[in-house]
Every structure is written in structure tokens, then in C-alpha cells.
Amino acid sequence: MQLWRFLKPAALGFTLRNGSQLLFDWVTGAPPIPLRVRDYVAVHAREGDPVDVLRAMDRFAVEERFLMNVGPDKGPLVRELLAKLPSNARILELGAFCGYSAILLATTLGTDGKIVSVEKSGAAVEGTRANVAYAGLADRVQVIHGSSTEIIPSLEGPFDLVFLDHWKDLYKTDLEVIEKCGLLRKGSLVVADNVGEVFGAAPYLEYVRGCGRYENETRTATIEYTKIPDAVEISEYKGDGRAV
């Protein structure tokens, strides 16, 4: 990700605010954000109520500390996409952070759906597992600790939807590994969050739009809890003989 893009005028206020928060956390030795969110959820949300858990995370993001969640503005898009999937769909998520999107996906999909979420950060894994369990969804969401590129070959496919929401420089690399491992079927959706200009996602977008294996749609959006322009890329896999 090209960090200089966050110094553009449209993103400068956002960058300065979050940079100062990171500096404060470093100076004070504050716990990792996912663990702070976990503790906040345990105090401010009703146990067993996924919707209230998401509301608590939204409040934390607005009132306490910015969170790079999917956020409430993209919720309708998530529900729209999941409505196209079977009730027992399998979803692969790369990048769990605090568990927001895993909870949203699992709640929207229903009791027969399964989410596999891969996360490299140990603190994020701990926080996500706690939040998912607190929301009452531990039986629908499996959180795997490890590097996405290393974990993907060990997964069993196919997946009906792949949600990319981790380090943006890995989007293209990991999608190629997913394809190579046969984890997509014809009609599988690959949804890449945060592909707006500020994130420097051009290599990924060039790949999915130019490789000939996807039908693509771009949805404009904003960076979570801000007014900074962003986008989501939705790619339907057409297959190339390797898909299940």
C-alpha cells in the first residue's frame, strides 16, 4: 500500500488524527486495538446479540478510536451479495481485525453458512474469537491464526464467496494462490474492500479486470466512518477449467 496517498488533502485530516492516536498508544503502551474492542464489547453489548455487538463496535469506532471495519454503510451491500448465495454457503475471509465483518457475514448468511477467517495478528485473532463467541456465533465462524498466503493452500474448497480485507498488497498474490488451489467454483464471488485510489489497489484491479476469468463490478463507497472516497470491487469467477 502506498502510504503517501494518505497525505493527499482529502485524507490528510484522517491521517493526522489516526497518526496521533497511534503515537499516543505507543507512548502510553496501550493494549492492541482488537483487545480494547473486545473489552468494550463485553461492557457495552448484549451477549448473544450479534446486531448489538456490531452496534457497540460502531460506537467504539466513532467515539473512541477509528476502526478499519466494514462499517454500517457497507452493510446493505454485504446483505445484497449474500442474498445471491445458497443458505449453506462457505465464505473465506482474509483479514479478521476485530471480527466485525465475520459477525456481519455469519449473521446475514444464516445458521447453515460457515465463515473461515484467516488473520495474521495474534491480538486480532484473540479479539475476533472473543467477539464472535460473545455474539453467539462461534459455531459458524472459524478463525485461523497465520499468514494468509501460507494458510490458503491448506484450506478445503470451494468457497462461494471470498472477502479480501487484509493487507492490500496481498490481494493479487493471495487471489492467485486461491485460484491455483482450486478454492473457487464457477459463480464464486470475490469481494475486495478498500480498492479506492487512496489504497493503491491498481495491480489487483488490473489483474481481476484483465485476466479474463471474472466479470467485474465496482461499487463506490467511503472509507469506514469517514467521507473519504473509496470503492469495493465485486468479481464473479467464470472458471477456467480448474474450478470445482
In the annotation, is 165 catalytic? yes
The answer to whether the pTM exceeds 0.75 is yes
Q: Is residue 242 part of a domain?
A: no
pLDDT score, position 157: 85
Q: Taking Cα atoms as reference points, which of 89, 13, 77, 107 lies closest to residue 220?
A: 77
Catalytic residue among 160, 193, 230, 233: 193
CA dihedral 201, 207, 209, 214 (to 10 degrees): -120
In the annotation, is 193 catalytic? yes
Q: Is residue 1 part of a domain?
A: no
Unique residue bearing C-alpha cell 465496482: 218
Q: Is residue 16 part of a domain?
A: yes
Q: Is 71 helix (H, G, I), strand (E, B) or coil?
A: coil
Distance CA 228, CA 223 (A): 6
Catalytic residue among 74, 168, 172, 233: 168
Q: Is residue 114 part of a domain?
A: yes
Catalytic residue among 58, 93, 160, 224: 224
pLDDT surpassing 80 at residue 85: yes
CATH number for the domain including 101? 3.40.50.150
Q: Which of 12-21, 53-62, 118-127 shows the lowest mean pLDDT across its residues?
A: 12-21
Number of structural domains (the chain) is 1
Distance CA 78, CA 66 (A): 21
